[in-house]
Amino acid sequence: MRTYLPSLLLVALFCTAVGAQGTFPLTRQEAEMTSPAARMAQVYAAGVPKCPPDLKGAPDASNANNRYYRLPVGGKARYAAILPADEEGQGLRLLLDTNGDNDLSNETPLTGTQEKTLVTFPGATLTVGAGQTVSVRAMGPTPDPKRPPQFLILMPAAYLTGTAKLSGKEYTLALVDGNMNGKFNDPMAFPYNQRQSDTLSIDLNGNGTFDPPRTGADVFEMFPFGKGVKVGETFYGVQVADDASTIAFTKAAPKFGTLDLGSADVQMLTFSEYGFVNIQASDGKARVPAGRYGALVLALAKKDDSGALWRLQASRPSGQLADFTVPADGTLALEVGPPLVAKVTARKRGAGVQYLTLGLEGRAGESYTPGIIKGNQRGAPPSFEIVSDENKVLQTGTFEYG
The full set of domain ranges for the chain reads 22-29+159-252, 31-156, 256-333
Mean pLDDT over 19-29 rounds to 79
* Choice between 334 and 131, residue whose per-residue pLDDT is larger: 334
Tell me: the pLDDT tens digits for 125-145? 999 877 789 999 999 999 998
* Choice between 21 and 62, residue whose per-residue pLDDT is larger: 62
Statement: residue 172 has pLDDT above 70: yes
Give the alpha-carbon dihedral of 192, 193, 196, 202, to 10 degrees.
Answer: 70
User: Can you give the pLDDT at residue 84?
Assistant: 92
Statement: residue 98 has pLDDT above 90: yes
Statement: residue 1 has pLDDT above 60: no
Mean pLDDT over 56-83 rounds to 90
User: Can you give the pLDDT at residue 79?
Assistant: 95
Element (H, E) at 199: strand 199-202
Residue 147 sits at φ, ψ, to 5 deg, of -120, 135
Statement: residue 7 has pLDDT above 60: no
Statement: residue 60 has pLDDT above 80: yes
User: Can you give the pLDDT at residue 277?
Assistant: 87
User: Can you give the pLDDT at residue 173?
Assistant: 95
Statement: residue 255 has pLDDT above 90: yes
User: Can you give the pLDDT at residue 213?
Assistant: 64
Statement: residue 21 has pLDDT above 80: no
Statement: residue 25 has pLDDT above 90: yes
User: Can you give the pLDDT at residue 96?
Assistant: 95
User: Can you give the pLDDT at residue 218?
Assistant: 63
Statement: residue 91 has pLDDT above 80: yes
- Minimum mean pLDDT range among 11-20, 141-150, 191-200: 11-20
Element (H, E) at 21: helix 5-22
Question: Which residues, 6+ apart, have CB-to-CB distance to 325 below 8 Å?
Answer: 291, 292, 293, 332
User: Can you give the pLDDT at residue 141?
Assistant: 94
* Choice between 87 and 298, residue whose per-residue pLDDT is larger: 298
Alpha-carbon separation of residue 162 from 27, 172, 209, 232 (angstroms):
6, 6, 13, 19
User: Can you give the pLDDT at residue 388?
Assistant: 83
User: Can you give the pLDDT at residue 263?
Assistant: 86
